[in-house]
Chains A and B, each alone.
Chain A
C-alpha cells in the first residue's frame, strides 16, 4: 500500500481507538520529566498543541491573538510621512536654532558639517479619514485606512546608529544576546498552528538604492530563551523553509516509508532506554513531515481571489516583494501563526531622500493598507495587532546638499513615528506631540520599552511579570527600568 495512505489510515484508527498505553506512558513520563517540550507522541487523541503556552498565559484576556510587525529598516523620515510641520517652509536653509538642538548628540556623519540647515519636507500633506489625520502624499493608500490606525509621533530610542538601534527596537537592548519580541511571544503564548512555526520572519526586496543597511539574525533570535523560539525565516528563493524539500529522486512516499521505519526504530529505542526526549523526537519528525505539505500550501497564492490580488497591487505576484510578504502575513495569521515580522530594508536616506523615499513608499504603501483592509474584511483585524515603524527617525536638518527638491536626513533617535492598528488599539487617534522642528518631544513621550509593553498588553501579557531568569537576572523584554503601557492607545 502507498505509505502515505497507510499512514493516514493509521492516524484515523488511532483517533478512533483512543490513546495507547505507549503514548499515555510517554506523555506522563514527559510531564514528570519537567522538560516536557510540547510535542506529544504521534497523533494524540486530544488535540495536543505543538507550541503550547506557558502555564498561566496569557495573563489576562488578550485583545489580539497575533502580531504582524512591519519593520521599516534604516529609519523612515517621520517629517516626510507623518509628522506634518507646515511652519518649516519659513525656515528653509536656515540653521537649526541652538535652542532646539540643545547640544544633544548627533552622529559623526553630520557633526563635522559646517551648519545644520533646516530641510522642510517637499511632500504635500492632506487630511484624511474621519479623524482628519495629516498624511503625506507618499502614503495615499494609508490615508484610506487612517481611521484604523493609532499614530504615535513621539517614539524615542536610546541608540543613534543602526546596529544598536535595530537590536534595541527588536530585543529591548542595544547589546546583542537578548531575546527578540517574536521569540518572547512564541515562548509565552505558543501558537495555535501545529503545522507551522510559531514565529515567522520575512525579508522582502526593496526599491531604494541597493546599498541598504543590514539586518541581523539577532533581530529574530531567541537569545537566552530556548532556541525553538527563534524566528523561522520564510525564504523567497530556494526552499521556503530551510531543507523543506526532499532530496532529488526522493518522493513524499519514499519519505513516508522511511519515517515509518524511523518511528518504529526510535520507539524500540525508547522502550530500551526510557528517555522521554525520544518521544519528542518522534513527534518532531512527524511535524517536519506535515510542514513539507503545510508550508508549500501556505506560500501558494493560487487560491487568492482576483480582487485580493488587485488590492495588494501587481507586485504581490512576484515572490519576495513586500506586497507578497504582506499577503503571506495575512495567510499566516489566518492559520494561527503567533507572530509574523516583515523587515523591509532601504529606509536610510542620508541623501537623495525625496527620490528614494518615494520608491520605498511605492513598495509598502498599497500593500500595507491592503493588509489592514484584508484583515478587516475577514474579521481578523480585531484579533491581530499590526505595528509599523523603523529603528529611529530622521533629522529636520539636511545632511549634504539642500534644495527644495533634494535633501538628505541623518539619524534622529529623539522622536519618530510608529503606528499600531487592530486588536486592542483605538483607531483614528494620534498620540504625542513634537516641537515645530520635529526635533524634541513636547508631550507624551513613548520609549521603545513603553511601546513593547503596550504590544504585550494587547496580546494579554503583563510585561512586568513576563520574565526569564538568565545570567542572574529576571530578564524582561522591556528592560530593567520602569516601562509603562501607553493606555491612551488602547481601545
Chain B
C-alpha cells in the first residue's frame, strides 16, 4: 500500500505535469478538465490535512476544519480565511502550502508529509474554480446512472456492465480483448462458481454445444450445483471470521459449524441478501424465528473470546461489543469504525460518541465475558433432527415405564420401622453389599468396568464378576460425590476374588476413600503397589497373595485401614499389579442394631438430619430437613422423605429397589449421552435487561463517560424507528433504499471476487482514506440494480459472469501491461492465482480422491506434526492434532477444522486469513514455501499419485494419450507439441530412473493413506506420479485464467 500511495501520487504527476495519459495504479478519467473535489482534492486533504483539521474535534488545531466548506470558508478571529473561493492568493491555505518558513509551512515538517508540485497545482486550480465541496462520494445517495450507449456486436456487449466498461475504454483509447476460448472460459467459470475445475465430460459438452446460449446455460449448471454454495461461502466466512476454536488463550474447540453450513446453504438456496443480513444481525428478533434464522445470528458470535484465568470481565464484555460493532460496520458499510473507539474518527464523520451509539446495539449480548473454554458457551441452539426427536421420545417413554415400575414397587413394598417395634429387634450381624453386578447406584467409574457375565468367565455371586487383566498397576475405581454408605460398628470390609493360576498378579489391593484415599490393604508383594506408607493404614499389609484358582474372601477390620464407624464411603477401588483377576461382591459386614441404625430405621435416618443440610440427599429433601422441624412436617413432606429412604437408603428394601435404581440410572445416563451428542451451535440472544452503554474515554473499558443510546451516525439517513431501536431496526436501516453504503459495499465485494480487484480497490474502506471507485457510475448502477432486484445474489453473479468483460481473454500484451498493470480498466480478462481451498480441492478432485460429503464438524486432514503442539496451551483440547482417516481426509477445504492460533498450513501458506478478525480481501502472494508445499506435501503428492493412476488406467496405453488425459483433466486443454516433447522426455527420464531403482519407486507410490492400485507397475506409476506432480505444480494449474 505504501507502494500504491506512491503510485497514486505518480499518476497525478504524470497526468497533469506531463499531460500524457499513462496510467498507473488507479486510472484517472481522461476527461478531467475541471477539478472534482472527491476525485482530486479530498484524497490530498485527507492524507495531509484532516488529521489536524478534520472531523476529530479533540485533535483539531487552530480551530480550523477543512473537511467541510463552512469550516474552510469561515473567517477566524484574526480575520484570516483558509479558503477564499476563486482567490487562491487570498487563501491562507494556499499561502501556507507555499511557505518555506518552518513555523508557517503546511503540512508542518514534523508530520513528514509533503505535497507534490502537481498536487499543489491541483489545490490552486480548485480554489480558483471556486473551491466547490462535495460530500464524500460514498455517503452520497446511490444514483441510478444512465447506461451508456456503445456501438458494437452483441458478443462485445452482453449486458449493461459491458457498456460502462467499454465507454470508459473508448475514452482511454483502449480496446477490449476478444472472448477467451471455450476451454479457458469453462475452467474460469467452473473455478469461480464452484472452486473446482470442470470435468473432461463437462468440457466436451460445452465445446460441442453450438446453441447461442451455451455459455449462459453452462454458467447456470455450475450455479445450480451444491458446490456453488461451498465455494461462495468461504468469502463470507472470511468476513464473518468463522473458525472452530475460541481464538484466545486456551483456544479450545467451539461448536458452531452449523453457522458455516448455514452460510453454504444460504448461497445454494439463493437467500436474498436482505434476509441474509437480517438473519445474521437480528434473526433472534424476527417473529417466531426458525432454527435457520437463529443459527445465522452466530455471525456475531464468531469473534475471538477468552477464558483466561485472571482476565477482568468488564474488559472483555467491552471488547467483544467493540469488535462486533466494528465488524458489522466493516462488513456492511465498508467503514473502519474501529478508529472511533478511542477518539473521533480523523478522516470519516463518525464521532467517538456515534461509535458508542452503534456499539449500544451489540452491547447487551447474553454471552459471558469468559467463554469457559468449553465447546458450548451459552446461548446455544440445539440442532435436533426429527430422528433425534424420535429417539429422545423413545428414551422418555422408557424412563416413564421404569418410573411406573418404581411407583408400583413402592406401593407394594412392606416395611415397618424397627425403631417403632416393641420390643425392638435384636442387634445382628449383617453383610452390606456395595458392589455386586454393577458399581453402587449413581457412582462414577473410571473407564468402563468390565463386568463379565457368567458365560464369559468366573462368577462368585450375582450375574457377573469384574474381570481385569494387564501389566503394572491397574485398577477399577468407583466414586461418588454424595456418599450415603456408612461404615458400621465392628465392621469388617470384604471382597471376593479369583486369581487366574496361569497369570496371577504380584499383589492385590483394596482401597477406600472416606476423607481421602489413604486407606489401603494389600495382599502379596507389599512393594508392588507403591501408594501410601507400608505397614500403616495407608498401605496395610494384610497377608500373602491369596490362593490362586479358587474364590477367596479378602477380609479386614476397618481399624486396620484407619476407618471409623460412621464414616461415609466416597470411593472404593480394586487394584492389582499385573495378572488376571476376577473381582466379585464387595461390601462390609458388621454388627447392626436395626432400631438404632439409620440404614434400617426411617426414624433414625431422619433424626440425624434434622435442622441440617445433608449433601447426600436431593435439594428438595435438604430443604425440608433444614426448614421444617420433624414435628411440623406435612404428610406430603413425610412421603417424600420416606420414598427416598425406602428406595435409596434402607437395607431391607434394597433388594427390591436396587435393580430399579440401576435400570433407571442407566436409561437416564443413556438419554443424557444421546442428548449431549446432538450438536449445538452458538447463537445471539440479548440479556433480559439491556446493559447501559457509555462513551468509553480513550477506549478504556473502565472509563465510562457520557451515557449513549442506540443510534446511527448523523451523516447518514436516520433510522426509521428511533424509539429504542433494536438490531432489527439497524438491519432494516442498512437495507433501506436511502442507505448509501450496503449495496455499494456488497456489489463491490462480488466484483472483487470475479475480477480480482474491486471497483473500489480498498474493499474494506469506503471512507475518505479508501480509494475512490474506478468506475463510479458502474458501481452505482450495480448497487441500485442489485438492491432493486430484491437483493438477488445469483442474479448479480450472473450479471457479472455473463458479461463480455468477464469473458475476455486474459493475455497481457506488453503495452497494455505498461498502461494498466493492475487491469483496473478491464481491457483484458481477469487472471489470478487460485485461493488456498481451491488449490487443495483441485488436486484432490483431478486425482479422483475427493469426498463430497457436506457439513458437520470440521474434518482434520493431513497436517505435519508440530503445528499445534509447540504453541498450544498444555491444557488445550486443540493441542494434539489427531488426523482423520479414510474419506474424511479428502473432504472439501471449506469444511477443514480451523484452529485460529495455529491454522492449517495448507490454508495460511496460500494467504488464507487466520480468522482472528474480519477479512474482506485475501492477498495473493507467491513464495518458495508454496512451491515446497505443492511439491512435497503428502496430500499433493498423494493426489499426484492418484492422478497418475488415472492416467494409466483411464488415459490410454501410450505415454502421449496419458499425458493428454492429464492435461485435459487439470488444464482443460491439450498440450502443444513443444510442451508434449518436454513432457515426454521428462517422463522417459523418470521411467529409466525408476526402472533402475524399484525400491525408490515403491516408496514413492506408498506415500499417503490411500493405497495405490494393486496391479500397478511401481516403476511406471512412480514415474507418472512425478509427471502428475509436475503438472499440478504448473503456474497455469494454480491460476485461473
Contact = CB atoms under 8 A, between A and B. Distances in A.
B565 interface: no
A272 B308 contact: no
Contacts of A214: 249-251, 871-873, 876, 901
A307 interface: no
A254 interface: yes
Interface stretch (A77-85, A101-109, A327-335, A425-433): A101-109
A7 B1035 CA distance: 21
A247 B3 contact: no
Interface in A257-294: 257-258, 260-262, 264-266, 268-270, 272-278, 280-282, 284-285, 287-288, 291-292
| Residue from B764, B818, B873, B1022 whose CB has the most chain A CB atoms within 10 Å | B873
Given A214-B250, A261-B986, A242 B932 contact: yes
B309 A250 contact: no
Contact of B864 (A109, A230, A238): A238
Given A161-B311, A242-B864, A472-B767, 4 more contacts: A34-B821, A107-B309, A248-B1006, A253-B993
B870 A215 contact: yes
Given A108-B312, A217-B902, A291-B932, A262 B866 contact: no
Contacts of B702: 105
A90 interface: no
Interface of A: 3, 25, 29, 32-35, 37, 39, 54, 105, 107-109, 160-163, 175-177, 197, 203, 210-218, 221, 226-228, 230, 232-233, 235-239, 241-251, 253-255, 257-258, 260-262, 264-266, 268-270, 272-278, 280-282, 284-285, 287-288, 291-292, 410-411, 464-465, 467-473, 480
B137 to A, nearest CB: 15
Contact of B941 (A54, A226, A247, A265): A247
Contact of A268 (B818, B833, B930, B978): B978
B865 A238 contact: yes
A269 B1034 contact: yes
A260 B999 CA distance: 24
Contact of B812 (A35, A175, A230, A274): A274
Nearest to B768: A472
B1004 A108 contact: no
Interface string B618-653: 000000000000000000000000000000000000
Interface stretch (B211-219, B453-461, B910-918): B910-918
12 contacts: A34-B821, A39-B926, A107-B312, A176-B247, A214-B873, A218-B914, A273-B831, A275-B812, A285-B931, A291-B928, A469-B5, A473-B336
A233 B901 CA distance: 14
A268 B931 contact: no
A243 B932 contact: yes
A465 B2 CA distance: 11
B979 A265 contact: yes
Nearest to B821: A33
B811 interface: yes
B865 A237 contact: yes
A258 B837 CA distance: 25
A272 B811 contact: yes
B865 A273 contact: no
Nearest to A205: B870
B1004 A248 contact: yes
A232 B310 CA distance: 32
A177 B986 contact: no
B769 A472 contact: yes
A467 B985 CA distance: 51
Contacts of B876: 214
A217 B903 contact: yes
Interface in B587-644: none
A250 B1033 contact: no
B280 interface: no
B105 interface: no
Contact of B901 (A54, A216, A260): A216
B5 A261 contact: no
Contacts of A162: 249, 308
B976 interface: yes
B866 A243 contact: no
A447 B342 CA distance: 19
A211 B875 contact: yes
B931 A284 contact: yes
A244 B348 CA distance: 47
A276 B765 contact: no
Contacts of B938: 247
Best-buried of B908, B936, B1035 by chain A (most CB within 10 Å): B1035
A468 B4 CA distance: 11
B986 A471 contact: no
A472 B933 contact: no
